[in-house]
A and B are shown apart, each in its own frame.
Chain A
Amino acid sequence: MIKAKSDIDEGLLWQSFLSGDNGSLEKIYRIYFDELYQYGNKWLNDHTFTEDIIQDLFVKLIRTRQNLSQTTSIRFYLFRAFRSLALDKIKTDKKMIVLDEPGDEMFPVDLTPEHNLIEKQEYNLVKEKLSSALSALTPRQREAIFLRYNEGFSYIEVSEMMELTTKATYKLMARAIDALKGQLPLVFSSIFLYKIFLENIF
């Protein structure tokens, strides 16, 4: 699980970045890079694009340092900024045709040749079940579920990120959970689930 809480005093780290210390920003970058990279890469299915967004995000932080305010959760701040930068860029960037028409070929199955036949069969089975469960959800329902359960953001954070009221977020989630109930394969810790889920999200 991605831990929502860290031992580091985030308020202090952020404050020290705001007051001009780039070393603190690099610390922040190194703490959150993996998560942002994974989130973006799986969502956008294009690691070059993900790297560009992360780069833009941190360049923007450096350039707009004077105008930034205090934050209690750096993680939330970064994810929200990443999401909105990515959406902006997708809207203005016609080259991201990929996102409008995600065919199967855009989500290559990441099994290495070493995986044996049984694993492949299990993978396909689980993939089928989860795909059909997720296909019942709208993209927004999937995103809300993903941000809440995978990234561990609170309802308030999810609603702020998705620009919804908290009430609307609850509704969105409730409908999603109702649709998922009884549909999900009982495979708790399968390494595949994450990949399959992300192949079907958005």
Chain B
Amino acid sequence: MQNSFDKYLQYSATDFALDDDFVNWTLFPNDENDTLWNEYITKVPDQKKNIEAARNIILSFDTSAEKIPDDIKNRVWQSVISKADNGRIVKMKPRRVWMVAASALIILASGILYFYVNKNQSHLDSGNVVKNAVLKNDIAPGGNKAILTLANGSTIVLDSAQNGTLTQQGSAKVVKLDDGKLVYREDENSSAVAIQYNTITTPRGGQYQLILADGSKVWLNAASSIRFPTAFTGKEREVQITGEAYFEVAHNADMPFHVKVNNMDVAVLGTHFNINAYNDEGVMKTTLLEGSVKVSEGNENVLIKPGEQAQIKKSSDKIIVKKDVDMEEVVAWKNGKFIFQDADIRSIMRQLERWYNITTVSYEGNVTNEEFVGVISRDVNVSQILSMLQSTGTVKFEVEGRKIIVK
């Protein structure tokens, strides 16, 4: 090794920065190479300047790895598994309410394993249901559907609208992309100054994604709406929603972004969060995935951190903050899944109603109070979900047209 140092006498800083041994020492120092190189530097002090310059270049790009939140990691892995198995996610397990919480954790933790163990069984269950003819007909899942209402009151149906520029709204072009997304682009050639407001409304059984003029992304769940300006000017960006939406707000410290829902205001600079404010859900929930947001209602306001959820009960101004919320469950809809965690049958049915455009759900007799844990794709027909719930032996369904009776 001593000999090999001879070649470094004539090295320029660039030569050092290109040398494998030198780069290895700089990036991955250990006792051995540290000793050798320090010894060399003492011997040839003239080269110290070149060595420092080379190290500065290399270390300018040497950074530590961030830790990515587990829920992102788990979510992507779940989709790998489900996609590798042709898009079928099947995992549903009843849990008796009096069971200790730990058992739920074990069920969730063993989810992936469970998926492998249970998938055949669940397919079997779907078969049984068909044989037993409990379901007289089936309902297909929702899809990308929405209605765009322009400032002048005219409407465009977005599931059938052709791709490309749909219309010009004030200073913005409204463009529908190949994948169905709607984008608002600032039109530099336009001299129009008037800000116009547009509204996108999803029906039951519909969802939609759009990119606002400032680059912020919005996912709208079924039976929801968003009203927004076609271009953002002034000191604030403001939109209004109903139902459920997930936001990825483009950062702009000079122009805070506000989401108004009923009397609630959510203020952000640039961040990722989900708001669930369906009228038939008793609680309005704002869940933060990244960044920070301020939730205000009446005189109350709270700042929430990632992993936290601000809850506001109907007919109340109190804001309750829940910590360690399961992010995966909250944004499951946006990722094409239903995730039920300790969900009772009524809350499950409310989600199914919206996605499958079910007109009436009625309950007959003593309907179970047990809670369910499970994950399933939103792409399946309603029968597959019902049959899985039914296979737990605690609940039965009858489907007639778009009506479901729960027994």
Residues in chain A within 8 A of chain B (CB atoms): 1-5, 22, 26, 29-30, 33-35, 37-38, 48, 51, 54-55, 58-59, 62-63, 94-95, 105-106, 108-110, 112-113, 130, 145-146, 148-150, 152, 154-155, 170, 173-174, 177-178, 180-182, 184, 186-189, 193-194, 197
Contacts and interface: CB of A to CB of B under 8 A. Distances in A.
Q: Pick the most buried of B60, B63, B116, B269: most chain A CB atoms within 10 A of its CB.
A: B60
Contacts of A193: 60-61, 63
B181 A95 contact: yes
B9 interface: no
A177 B18 contact: yes
B83 interface: yes
B62 A149 contact: yes
Interface string B236-267: 00000000000000111100000000000000
A27 to B, nearest CB: 11
B130 interface: no
A78 B60 CA distance: 25
Contacts of B72: 37, 51
B8 interface: no
Interface of B: 13-14, 17-18, 20, 23, 27-28, 53-54, 56-68, 72-73, 75-77, 79-80, 83-84, 112, 116, 177-179, 181, 215, 217, 250-253, 269-270, 291-292
A6 B77 CA distance: 22
B104 to A, nearest CB: 22
Given A94-B178, A173-B18, A37 B68 contact: yes
Contacts of B217: 48
Given A149-B23, A184-B57, A193-B60, A95 B28 contact: no
Contact of A59 (B73, B83, B291): B83
Nearest to B249: A108
Nearest to A65: B84
A1 B62 contact: yes
A154 B53 CA distance: 20
Nearest to A108: B251
Contacts of B62: 1, 149-150
Contact of B252 (A59, A108, A173): A108
Contacts of A55: 76, 79-80, 83
B273 to A, nearest CB: 14
Contacts of A3: 28
A38 B252 contact: no
B112 A54 contact: no
Contact of A29 (B57, B63, B77): B77
A26 B77 CA distance: 8
Q: Pick the most buried of B23, B27, B253: most chain A CB atoms within 10 A of its CB.
A: B27
